[in-house]
Structure formats: structure tokens, C-alpha cells
Structure 1
Amino acid sequence: MAPSNLTIRGVNGRPKIAAGGKSAGGKAIWVVSGNNITIDNVEMYGAKVVDKNGAALRLEGTNFTMRNSFLHDNENGILSGVNTASTIVLENNEFGHNGYGDGYSHNVYIGKAGKLTFRYNYSHDANVGHNLKTRALYNTIAYNRFSSLRSGETGSTAAGKPSYEIDVPNGGTTFIIGNVIMQPVGGNNPNIVAYGEEGVSGYATDLYVVNNTFINDESSRGYFVMVGGGVTTPAKLINNLFSGYGPMSTQASSIKTANYQALSVGFVNKAAYDLRPLANSLIVNAGVAPGNSTNGSSLNAAASYKHSASGINRTMLGTKNDIGAYEVQ
């Protein structure tokens, strides 16, 4: 796909593009080599290649946007290379059960791009790999749901056994705001979010984790936020709700403000993945105004995830912010 400044949009329903194990150039269903490409409302599945990293979409151009789409059961959902001039925007999409099963292929794998914006997405059940992996220099990961089915369950895809829910292996200025992040029992890595664990040379190292709801269903293993030893900038953890076993952060210098943790938090219907918290005086009006990042960006959670692959505006209902990804109704 070489043309630039192009929008491809499914109409009169969502087109289903079944690769059936075939690919373009031994890479992907679509190889996007043009610049300023937008893809809207498609479903893509079944990509396989000899190298075991066949993607629904292989990004090779500069600047890419995808909305309202469903990528599932490929060896990679999206795979991009190195292009620090590129901005990638992924919003209102579902990614499910992508990955060859070797741990090197993922639901979404963004290479060293300039900027990634990942919002209002539902990423789940990566097959051994990560639900999101990004090496971008600047990451905004906001108002998404990262969760996977329990063993034996079937949803829009089969159940997977993901590794990290979010992996930012080289660091970079990273905002993780307003997400619902749930780790099932028996995943391939007990840690939930990883940052800078592969080395941070050439990257900024400021991490902001604000107003997320974390749930660890493992009873005896896992960290909520694992920060690599080479990261010297203290991560900021503000207004997060942590349910389940595990320390909040591996980084001793992390700055933790107005977070709440309990082994079991009450939710509207956890069994059905309705992860809005029940009223609790330690959550309601218990947050703080999170302020701004070092570069002046607001850390305020302005929206909340709405299932499926959508969002709603978040309005403070009381005198202070509530802790977690939702205002308690």
C-alpha cells in the first residue's frame, strides 16, 4: 500500500478481511508504506508468515491512524519499525488473541516511533506476548481496557495467556492514565506493567501512572509496575486503585500519592468484567489533583473507558477526584 494521504474506511457494516495464512511480501495482510494513512472500521485476521511475525498491519510509512477496527488471531496485530518522525494514533479498536505463541509477537508492537497515542482501545488475550508493547519515544496510553479471559472462557476471541499488559521496554516520556488493567491467573509473566526493563539509552525516563484501576488475580506473585534498574527518574504513581496481591512498584524511589490498595476491592460485577468500584470512603473523594508533568502536560484523567472500545467524559462528582479509572456513581 504505497499511496499517501489516504483514508480506507469500511461502510455498510465492518468488512472482514481473512488472510487465511497468506500475506503481502511475507510481512502482513496490508503493508502500509505510504504516509499519513488512516484506516477506519475493518476486521482483519489470519495473518501468518514464515518468520512467525505475520501482522494484520505492517507500518513502514510516516504517520498512521487506525480507528474502530478489530484485529485478532494474527501472529501480530500491528507491527511497526523504526521511524522517529512518525506519529501513530490507535483509538476505539479491539485487539485480541494475536501472537504466534513464542513471546516475540504481540497484540500491538510499536517500534521506535516518535509518538504513540493509544486510547479507548480494548486489548486482550495476547497469545503469550504482550497486550501492548511500545518502543516509541513518547507514549500516551489512556482510557483503555487491558484484560483477558479466564481459562476456559470464550469471548470475542479465545482466551490467551498474555505476558505484560503494557510493556514500554526502553522507557520514553510515558503517560498511563485512566486505564482498566486486569491480569488473569496463569499469565506468562506475573508483572502487569513493565517500563525500561530492556535499557533506556537515548530515551527520556519520566513515567506517570495516574488514575488507573489495576487488578491482579494472581494470589502470590506479581508487581503492578515493574521499573527497570536503569531508570533513575522516580516514577509518579497518583490516584491509582490496586486490587490484589503485589507491591505497587519495584522502584524504591517511586513517588506514590493518594493510591489505594486492598487484597479485594468491591466492583459492580467483577465476574462479568464490570470493573467500576463500589462506593468506598477510601476511594470516593480520596484522590488529589495530579497536576502537570515535567513538560507541562496535564495529568488529569479527563475520560473513562466504556466497553467496548469506547470512552465517556469523566466529571468530578464530589469535592475531590475519586481514586481509580472511574468516578464512583
Structure 2
Amino acid sequence: VAVSGFDFEGARVAARNGAGIRFEAGQLTLRRCRFGGNEMGLLTSNDPRAELVLQFSEFAHNLRPDGHNHQLYAGSIASLAVWGCWFHHGSVGHLLKSRAAVSRVFYSRLTDEAGGTSSYELEFPNGGVALVVGNVVQQGPMTDNPIMISYGAEGYRWPRNTLALVHNTLVDELPEGGRCLRVAPGAVDLLAACNLLVGNGAHLEGAAAGEYRANAYAGPEVFADPAGYDYRVARGAALPAPLDPGRREGMPLMPTHEYLHPCATRALGARPALPGALQTRADRHKRASQA
């Protein structure tokens, strides 16, 4: 089943988990849809054969009366694939939570932004294969949880547990500093490569034993307009060149696209020249107070 071009708003139920879509079984592809003002954005069952694909869709401002919510909650399904989507303005819950055996989150934007109070930006509570490539991830100053990405916090249940974080831009705006990544103890194949980390968050290398390569650290001045959530690298900003991140689970991890705001992607004409998600540089934005 494919659904394209719909807005899903205002779902409310007595159990307080009214979702724009509740996906129970089969294969579902959503393109260019928007989920807003529901108690949950999209909620799935735990059918181990179900497969969900999300493309170029937006999830924001979904919350229930007690303040908890998830913009996307994928249960213990076979697979989740996210491409070119925008998750933002969560309230206490997570922007994206997936218990799927295989989760692929590519070229998307997951950002608290002004007023957002989400907990984790990305959570994979039961491990599994999680390939997270080319995403812009921002933790705001009002976050409900100082950890941006969590893996395995509720115990590993899948036979393969692989976490690959590759070419993501990770921005921590928590004043006292948060943690970019928490990985629960266990037999995990962890790769963190070619990410760009900005802010006070702890370095990726402290999360767990794994392979860490060519991650870059910088201040917010590296961006064109961090106050306006424009996380493109400013022209003239010096950053180290990335390396080939290799493969995981039979899939090459070298990005072929970049996220294009809002809810789009752009094909790269060459291999990435910068660490992080966004390869197209931009002029620095001058605000009135800076003019």
C-alpha cells in the first residue's frame, strides 16, 4: 500500500495514543505526508513481518494531554526505512523511536528547534540493525533528556545488533552539555565515522567499544546560521576531509544524497568533501545585530 500527499491531524482516543496512522500489518509506503496535532504521529504494531517506508514526510507537534508523545513509534516490525523526512518539535517523547529488526534512517532532519522538549532524538531501545546516515540531528536547550541517540536501553532482542552512525551532523545546544550517544552493554558492532559534532556534548568515542573514524568536532561558528537552524557549513570554514566509511550489513555507507530542507533530498555529484550530513556550503547569515 502506498499513500501520498495527505495530512493527518487531530487523532484522539481514550487510551491517549491516537495516531495519524496506526500501521498493523503488511507493507506501507508514505510519501509527502504530514503528521501534526495527533497524540502520536505514526504508531505501528509488533508484527515481525511488517515493513514501513517513509519518504519526504513531516512529523511535528504531536502530543497527548499528559505531554508525552513520540513523533514516530515503530514497534517490533521487520524493517523501517526513513528517507528525506523532517521530525521536529517533540514534547517529552522521542522524535523517532524504532524497535524494528532493521532501521535505516537516511538523509533526514531530526531537530528540537525553538520550544521543542523532546527526549531522545533517535532511540533504538532493542538494538537491531540501525543504519543512520546523512542526517541533521539537533538537541535543543529545553530537551527532556540530555542524550541525543540511544541504542539498546531496553535490552537486545534481535540476533544482529549493528549501529552505524555515518556522516551525520550532531548539534548539542544543551547549555550544560549532553551526550551524543549512549549504547547499552552488549555484543554490538558499532561504527561512528565522518560525523560532525558541534556543541557541548560528550565525544562519540566515550559511548562504547567500537570503530571510530574521521569524526570532526567544531564550534557553532562553523555553520552558516546556527541561530536559524541552518546547519550548512559556512564558506571558508576549515574542516578535515572525510574518509570512506566502508560498509555494514552489505550496504555501502558512503552518502549519495544530502538532506534539502524542507523534506527533500539532493543527489551528490561527487563523494562527500565534508564531514557531517550537508555537503553544500552556504554564505554566513548576518543578522541585524551583526550588521
Scaled by the length of structure 2, the TM-score of the pair is 0.91
Distance 1:103 1:199 in 2: 26
Equivalent residue of 1:271, what SS?
A: helix
Give the superposition deviation at 1:322: 1.6
What amino acid is the match of 1:326? Answer: L
CA separation of 1:259 and 1:185: change in aligned 2, threshold 3 A:
same
Alignment of structure 1 residues 1-329 onto 2, 5 Å: 37-100=1-64, 102=66, 105-151=69-115, 160-229=116-185, 231-249=186-204, 250-278=206-234, 279-283=236-240, 286-293=241-248, 295-316=249-270, 321-329=273-281
Render the CA deviation track for 1:56-93: whole Å, top value 9, x for unaligned. 11111211111101100110010001111111100100
Give the superposition deviation at 1:126: 1.4
Equivalent residue of 1:136, what SS?
A: coil
Whether contact under 8 Å (1:126, 1:162) holds in the other structure is: yes
Distance 2:245 2:181 in 1: 18
CA separation of 1:67 and 1:209: change in aligned 2, threshold 3 A:
same
Distance 1:305 1:98 in 2: 23
Equivalent residue of 1:224, what SS?
A: strand
Equivalent residue of 2:158, what SS?
A: coil
Which one has more relative contact order, counting CA pairs under 8 Å at least 6 apart? 2
Segments of 5+ residues of structure 1 without an aligned counterpart are: 1-36, 152-159
Give the superposition deviation at 1:328: 4.5
CA separation of 1:69 and 1:328: change in aligned 2, threshold 3 A:
closer
Query: How many residues align structurally?
Result: 279
Identity %: 30
Which structure 1 residue ranges, 4+ long, deviate > 4 Å from structure 2? 101-104
The CA RMSD over aligned residues, in Å, is 1.6
Render the CA deviation track for 1:134-177: whole Å, top value 9, x for unaligned. 100001101000112213xxxxxxxx311111111111111000
Give the superposition deviation at 1:276: 0.4
Segments of 5+ residues of structure 2 without an aligned counterpart are: 282-291
Select between 193-202 and 302-311 the one with higher mean Cα deviation: 193-202
Structure with greater Cα Rg: 1
